[in-house]
Structure 1
């Protein structure tokens, strides 16, 4: 099997051109093995690019544990770059993912990915919760550098208010110049990742609502820098949300499965 490795601000993915629909997508153990960093290729997730009669392509995303996942923003930017590299579209694309339709624009450096509208930010047991294509908790802290993201994030991820599915957990610290530093514990990976696209989107929206940060919000992650732009309607709904940042091919390989 030929595979492609892409990364978006350090969030890395195995990309497979599955327009023939021959990949064994039901084999969770295989996908988990391919994502394993010691015994496989190594990645935060695996993404299939499949055909769709109504769109340029379909994005099918699997977490590193092999289970099909909810929307992944950095993965979305990576599959857009992948589709562009394959010559599927020129500059603008329209594709379908598990959370619905997305559009994106490509330039030499960045992918601008339109995210799904967000209609509700809620308080769940004292924690700020919202869904940006995937479920996220946002917690603002004063010293993010020294925080034990894995221990703190895991405790919230598995806590009762977010069962049975659990949640991703983002810890954020406001810096100068409309910028937020974000670190994320991702469910399915069950660890801190270098970046999380739906997570930084969640942080930007909460920072606007609670702290009056204005669009576009600049995001610093361990893996690099992103921007999130958005419009807020009178009823509090966020629309025209764009996740903006780089996505790059790392290497191409072949593996026997």
Structure 2
């Protein structure tokens, strides 16, 4: 089976983008997703995104983690917006549907601004935070984010029984004078990604409790992002926007083995 694809990245968070307006992508697809994301046997990516027609909005975005599970993806949404524009489906403004419902967004030059849903609850866990920004995120404050053993420390929190059975993403936040630095262990990927949009957003909201004001500038291993918001009281955030670049890397056609030939 041959699949045409485009590769996009948003601050190093990379995705296989597929124009699925004809609904040709296989429905029983977890092994196909895993193959496409495999960096040695397939294309290589942190996730796969389908773009489909929508009866009411500009388009539908379906995001898959490498393990085939679905979730909201902030950087993936920004890349999907850029891809939809390249396909001629939208201009510089859009309303689209993804895993957690309907979102709007706009593009200014190379920067894509993605509007997330309001956040109504912030759980304080000692010096740590738990915030759901469309995907669940544990935020841990650290002195030196570069020194964190991401896989071992992140997976221990990700699989902690208090987050069972679904687990959580885990972010490590270091405060700096004019910005924060963030590294993320992503569930579904089960490792570190160079950037995580919903994680960066959760960290920026957490930073508001550390005397940072909107917009919060965030440094990731893959580049700079910005998160703006309005804080209402101690628990409620609205008008949350994740902003940063979304760039096409390349496009191609990949030969996907039949399912019983896909390496496990």
- TM-score norm. by structure 1 comes to 0.96
Seen in structure 2, the aligned counterparts of structure 1 residues 233 and 126 have a Cα distance that, compared at 3 Å, is closer
Aligned equivalent of 1:196: 196
Other-structure match for 1:232 = 231
Match of 2:9 in 1: 7
DSSP-derived class of the 1:173 partner: strand
CA distance in 2, matches of 1:132, 1:255: 33
Structure 1 residue ranges, 4+ long, deviating more than 3 angstroms after superposition: 123-127
C-alpha displacement of 1:97: 0.7
Residues 1:96 and 2:97 aligned together: yes
SS of structure 2 residue aligned to 1:90:
coil
> Which residue of structure 2 lines up, in the alignment, with residue 32 of structure 1?
34
State how 1:57-136 maps to structure 2 within 5 Å.
57-67=59-69, 69-123=70-124, 127-136=128-137
- Which range moved further: 111-120 or 123-132? 123-132
Which residue of the partner structure matches residue 248 of structure 2?
A: 249
Question: Could you tell me how far 1:25 is from its partner in structure 2?
Answer: 3.3
Distance in structure 1 (CA, Å) of the matches to 2:135 and 2:27: 21
Question: Which runs of 5 or more residues in structure 2 are unaligned?
Answer: 257-264
Comparing 15-24 with 233-242, greater Cα deviation is found at 233-242
Deviation at 1:127, TM superposition (A): 4.1
Is the contact made by 1:124 and 1:161 (CA closer than 8 Å) also made in structure 2? no
Deviations 1:90-113 (A, max 9, x none): 110000111111111112210000
Which secondary structure does the structure 2 equivalent of 1:206 belong to?
Answer: helix
Alpha-carbon distance in structure 2 between the residues aligned to 1:54 and 1:233: 31
Of 45, 49, 53, 1:47 maps to: 49
RMSD after superposition: 1.2
